[in-house]
Amino acid sequence: MRNFFKKIDETVREMWLGTFLWGCLCELVSVWWVKDRLYSGLGILIGMLLAMAGIWHMWKVLDTALELGDGAQKYATSKNLLRYAVVLVVFAVLMLTHFADPLAAFAGLMGMKASAYLQPFIRGYKEKKRR
């Protein structure tokens, strides 16, 4: 497992940390404002996991596409559509089964966006701490 994390790009790990921090913030907010905490907590967790998987998938797709040459655009587009389809299927399952809150899952999924904005700050903090 340790080798798995060493092989992953530093930016991906920083974005995972940003997603985790966003998810923690969402969980804290849901404690005060949501009546069914387990239902929304599961939704946030599912959204966070989707965001982290999406970040990893984007990294792998971009890494592969940069080596392909002519077929790179077609490859990247097909893989992006696959990622969106997985998200849609997960949300459809959540809405049909009522296993977790789809809106909370969406909030967790937005951790991908939040982590993209947080990543430069996380990198700066890590660099400052190394000195």
Q: What is the reported pLDDT for 50? A: 97
Lowest-confidence pick of 3-12, 13-22, 49-58, 108-117: 3-12
Q: What is the reported pLDDT for 55? A: 96
What 8-state DSSP symbol labels residue 71? T
Rg (CA), the chain: 17
Neighbours of 10 (CB within 10 A): 10
Q: What is the reported pLDDT for 82? A: 96
For 1, 11, 44, 73, 115, the CA distances from 124, given in Å and listed in that order, are: 27, 12, 27, 32, 14
**Domain coordinates of the chain in residue numbers?**
10-125
Contact between 19 and 116 (Cβ < 8 Å) = no
Contact between 104 and 44 (Cβ < 8 Å) = yes
Q: What is the reported pLDDT for 5? A: 58
Burial 96-113 (b: 16+ CB within 10 A, else e): eeeebbbebbbbbbbbbe
Residue 19, pLDDT above cutoff 60: yes
Give the number of residues written for the chain: 131
